[in-house]
Amino acid sequence: MPSYVVGDIQGCHSELCRLLDMIGFSPKHDRLWCVGDLVNRGPASANVLRELMALGHSAQSVLGNHDFHLLLTAAGFQKPGRRDHLDDVLSAKDRDAMLDWLRHRPLAAHFDDYLIVHAGVIPAWNVHDVLRYANEVETVLRSDDRNLVLYFLQHLYGNTPERWDTRLRGQNRLRAIVNICARLRFCSEDGTMDFSEKGSRDNAPPGMRPWFAFESRRTRNVTLLCGHWSMLGLSLMPDVLALDSGCLWGGTLTAVRLEDRQVFQVPSEQRLFR
């Protein structure tokens, strides 16, 4: 059963379909993992969600920051920005089904010898930590208590706390977990994070490095699959596969077959805005 992981789709439905055709994806025989950011900015977020939902258990995805942004916007806690393209989801007759499906995606997942998150992991966390902390967020987001879900979403945005601490509680703790898994690029060895710099890995703020660059990183015993960082580009490292190859910005949409690391790419059909 071949397994494929695909980078940030962000509403680029046509490119996703071409990529699935290129690899000859079979829902009966293959598995597809997406690294999050399924929606927004691209022209067809609703169709991306419908495509993946139709594939059933053969297609899985973790949550990315743009996926959270859709949930916040749908809940009324965020107004669509000038660069957002979410109306096709928000005005759809099957809106509730798509949002509920998205709300039940994991923040992190572990299968075979792979760990998948959208953005990254601070050096101090091991695989068990990532899954345990991600589960805290997933439990709240999937709750049947609508008020609990809404409170979580209403207070999700923010860059604080800047440093992970196991003593964090409540919304500060949940926000820190989401920020690590879905927004991280640069950090220091002690888990202090920076969310302002979005450039190349050479633009690290003083005292910080790309999250994957620490020898002390405790997730080096697995191969970590991620996206989020389009300026990093497709980066296939021994223990990290970073798959955001900038389809949204006129680059490519990338899939990697995990069994042999063969790369499949389709070019973007249009250059959108930065």
Is residue 272 assigned to a domain? no
Read off the pLDDT of residues 133-165 as tens digits, 9 standing for 90 and up.
Answer: 999 999 999 999 999 999 999 999 999 999 999
Residue 213 within a domain = yes
Direct distance between the N- and C-terminal alpha carbons of the chain, in angstroms, rounded to an integer: 38
Torsion angle of C-alpha atoms 113, 115, 121, 125, degrees rounded to 10: -60
- Which residues form the domain of 37? 3-267
Distances (CA, A) of 152 to 69, 184, 190, 263, 264: 13, 20, 26, 38, 37
Q: Over the stretch 36-93, which tens digit does the pLDDT of each residue have?
A: 999 999 999 999 999 999 999 999 999 999 999 999 999 999 888 888 999 999 999 9
Alpha-carbon distance of 158 to 65, in angstroms, equals 12
Residue 182 lies in a domain: yes
**Residue found by looking up tokens 């966390």 in the block:** 125
Instruction: Tell me whether residue 43 is in a domain.
Output: yes
Whether residue 117 has pLDDT greater than 90: yes
Average pLDDT, the chain: 96
In the prediction, which pLDDT does 274 show?
47
Is pLDDT of 21 > 50? Answer: yes
- The beta-strand segments (E) located in the chain are 3-6, 31-34, 59-61, 109-111, 114-116, 186-187, 193-194, 209-210, 223-226, 235-236, 240-242, 252-257, 262-267
Q: What percent of the chain stands above pLDDT 70?
A: 98
**Residue 228 belongs to a domain with what CATH number?**
3.60.21.10
Top pLDDT among 274 and 136 is at 136
In a domain, 274, yes or no: no
Contact 242, 201 (CB under 8 A): no
Does 273 map to a domain? Answer: no
Total number of domains constituting the chain: 1
**Rounded to two decimals, what is the model's pTM?**
0.97
